[in-house]
A and B are shown apart, each in its own frame.
Chain A
Amino acid sequence: MPGHKRVAVMSPQTRLAHSRRRARGQWRVPKLAADDAVRAAELHRRQLRLAVAPLALLFAGIFGMPLLFAAFPGLDDVRLLGIPVSWLALAVLPYPALTLLAGWQLRRAERTEDTQ
């Protein structure tokens, strides 16, 4: 097993501080092999198409919920376990919803990469 020198595991910030000078180097014209370029173009196209639905859902949620609250002020008076429903809808509901959205999009994006 080569390389038993002990080194500190650093945060990226510190690594940056130590190594940025060396890492920067000269800018080089980006190159892609022909087959990689085709694959990348296909991935770019597919991922862009996949991005539409989650972003639409996200913005529908963050624009739609305030609209609902404004349109139905009665939600403040309906209570669940003594807590106004509108409070619960704002303080609790978004987090599982966002987590589900994240998981869904993660699976779709990874599946696209796997099949390419």
Chain B
Amino acid sequence: MIIAFAVAPVVLVTLLIGLRGVAAMRTTSDFLVASRRVSPLLNSAAVSGEYLSAASFLGVAGLVVKDGIGSLWYPVGFTAGYIAMLVLVAAPMRRSGALTVPDFAEARLNSPALRRVTAAVILVIGGLYLVPQFRTAGLVLSAVSNSPYWVGVVIAGTGVAITLALGGMRAATYVQAFQFVLKLVLFIVPAIWLLIHVTPQTRHEALHPVEFTRFDQATTVEFRVGTTLDFAEPTPLRIGDATRVIEPGRWDVPQASTVTFPKGAEVPKIAGEARPGGEGWSRPLLDLANAGHPLLGTWALVVALALGTMGLPHVIMRFHTSPDGRAARRTAAFTVGLLGIFYLFPGIYGVLGRVLVPQLYLSGATDTAVVALPAQVDANWAGSAFTALLISGAFAAFLATSLGLLLVVSGAISYDLLPGGLRRLRVTVVLAAAVVVLLALQAIRLDAGVLVTWAFTVAASTFCPLLVLGIWWSRLTVAGAMSGVLVGLFASSGAIAGTLWGLPVTGWLAILVAQPAPWSVPLAFLTMIIVSLRGRPASWSRTAMLRLHLNEDREQTAADRLRALRERAQSSQTSRS
């Protein structure tokens, strides 16, 4: 039931906009003027609307529950990325006229091969970003509707694919900006309601974390996938309808089982993970890969996020709506402020989630902590209502980001990699969504925040050096750009693959494998610079770069220039008479 009330309106509205484009029908001249005068504030709301994904809405709070306060470095990195964007990329990128990085590569370096390679990188980034969106949407949908995980993922995937295939995303800047406001309200209002309605004791416990060692009430956990728990004492469990005593040691929880832990029992451990609230949980540092080097882990993460933002394909696309480079720069600056408002709140859900729903960590479902909270605070209609609000917010976040990303990914396939047209684009969208669904089905145990961070890492190791050097360094050559992008791509995705397949590394080495940005980004930059210096840039290379820095104030359209001429002629006439 709750699904129908929470998700249906969001999907319906998106579909309606997709089908009819009703939201903003204007006359041609209005449109031309409007597109020149979309205010940077509105535009930055649209950027934020597209940027705030399920990883921000649900993932950050989930990671706080699981890994601790240090997870709040994720949103800091997500926001800091826009400073790098503002300083280095926003205005010149807009002036290049490119909508995507492949476009930029072509405009700046005129290399079809580089165009195809960057399109392939978009597929990697898009995939890493889309899978957690689908996974988390599926997880939430299946959790609230009590259906298997795959049903949730398939529903989410179908919704996105249909919306896109039917109408493309005709969401104007206004609609995306509205999406941002919607998400903001649906995130902030329940947070404040929660803060008011939790008991003083919960509030106290939230601020004085202790390790989650004993169940303080009989607790039921849904295991959607099998997992291995480590019991320290004999524990009588109710599994489905049967009751069974588990002996100390490891026990493999069967897939799709409902297990009830008795009150007072000791909480089992998961191999390689600390229990919520344990040692280090309350430290504002992030111990990546449980490697025991929280400082290095935090640095590695923040570098990846701060440098990766500028390379995210769906975000770059949004900046194109700005009328000129100056407005694009303003958009980036305002986005920092808008994101800052939103990111004040995930921590609240996180610390409350650790007190009220720590058991989610057992089933690897901490990403559902945000939507699980209202029911813990209020068992009546109010709790259900706020759950519904949060689910629609999460679904809006999932939809906005997924639509943009799927379109960019499909565009890369059907324009940059294959020759094709609009019809092929629609087919590609459906196929791409299907592939993402299949991948998401395998990814249930991977936290949204972690996967999204890998997308940032790949972007930071490939597109960040390409854009920064392409915009600021006239000596960049095609060979340099190409080798740098390839080295960055293989270094970052190789390390990520190593983590996924469980490379046996420990200590600081484990951090550099789990989060390769600290070495893969400098490596990509160095490769680009060294290979470029060994070659010769094209004769027009410097002009191609300088063009990006010329502000538009004096560079007007032909019509403007004509009008200016006419005005000047008129004024000189009047002054003469």
Given contacts A5-B28, A11-B176, A98-B340, 17 further A-B contacts (CB under 8 A): A7-B27, A9-B31, A9-B173, A11-B175, A13-B404, A14-B169, A17-B407, A44-B545, A58-B80, A58-B83, A66-B285, A66-B294, A84-B282, A87-B69, A90-B76, A91-B344, A105-B83
A103 and B169 form a contact (CB under 8 A):
no
CA distance A70 to B88 in the complex (A): 30
Closest 5 CB pairs of A and B: A95-B340, A8-B21, A40-B546, A3-B28, A9-B172
In the complex, chain A residues whose CB is within 8 Å of the CB of B415: 20-21, 24
In the complex, chain B residues whose CB is within 8 Å of the CB of A54: 83, 86-87
A31 and B551 form a contact (CB under 8 A):
no
A27 and B69 form a contact (CB under 8 A):
no
Where the two chains meet, the residues of B that have a C-beta atom closer than 8 Å to any C-beta of A are 21, 23-29, 31, 34-35, 69-70, 72-73, 76-77, 79-80, 82-84, 86-88, 91, 99-100, 106-107, 110, 168-176, 207, 282-285, 294-295, 298-299, 302-303, 306, 314, 317-318, 320-321, 326, 329-330, 332-334, 336-337, 339-341, 343-344, 347, 403-404, 407-408, 411, 415, 421-422, 425, 472, 540, 543-547, 549-551, 553, 555
A9 and B82 form a contact (CB under 8 A):
no
CA distance A10 to B167 in the complex (A): 11
**Main secondary structure on A side of the interface with B:** helix
CA distance A82 to B204 in the complex (A): 9
In the complex, chain B residues whose CB is within 8 Å of the CB of A109: 87, 91, 329
Where the two chains meet, the residues of A that have a C-beta atom closer than 8 Å to any C-beta of B are 1-14, 16-18, 20-21, 24, 27, 29-32, 36-37, 39-41, 43-44, 47-48, 51, 54-55, 58-59, 61-63, 66-67, 69-70, 73, 76, 79, 82-84, 86-87, 89-92, 94-96, 98-99, 101-103, 105-106, 109-110, 113, 116
Total inter-chain residue pairs, C-beta < 8 Å: 234
B543 and A13 form a contact (CB under 8 A):
no
Please tell me which one of the listed residues A12, A32, A70 contacts residue B321 in the complex, with CB atoms under 8 A apart: A12
CA distance A37 to B547 in the complex (A): 8
* Given A9-B172, A58-B84, A37:B546 Cβ within 8 A: yes
A90 and B28 form a contact (CB under 8 A):
no
CA distance A8 to B26 in the complex (A): 7
Please tell me which one of the listed residues B28, B84, B326, B408 contacts residue A4 in the complex, with CB atoms under 8 A apart: B28
In the complex, chain B residues whose CB is within 8 Å of the CB of A10: 21, 168, 170, 172
B422 and A18 form a contact (CB under 8 A):
yes
In the complex, chain B residues whose CB is within 8 Å of the CB of A94: 76, 79-80, 340
Among residues of B, the one whose C-beta sits closest to the C-beta of A106 is B333
CA distance A67 to B330 in the complex (A): 31
16 A-B residue pairings within 8 Å (CB atoms):
A3-B27, A6-B27, A11-B175, A14-B170, A14-B407, A32-B546, A32-B550, A36-B550, A39-B550, A40-B550, A58-B306, A62-B80, A66-B284, A76-B284, A94-B79, A113-B553
In the complex, chain A residues whose CB is within 8 Å of the CB of B91: 109
Among residues of B, the one whose C-beta sits closest to the C-beta of A87 is B69
CA distance A9 to B172 in the complex (A): 6
A43 and B549 form a contact (CB under 8 A):
yes
CB distance from A28 to the nearest CB of B (A): 9
A4 and B76 form a contact (CB under 8 A):
no
Among residues of B, the one whose C-beta sits closest to the C-beta of A113 is B551
CB distance from B102 to the nearest CB of A (A): 10
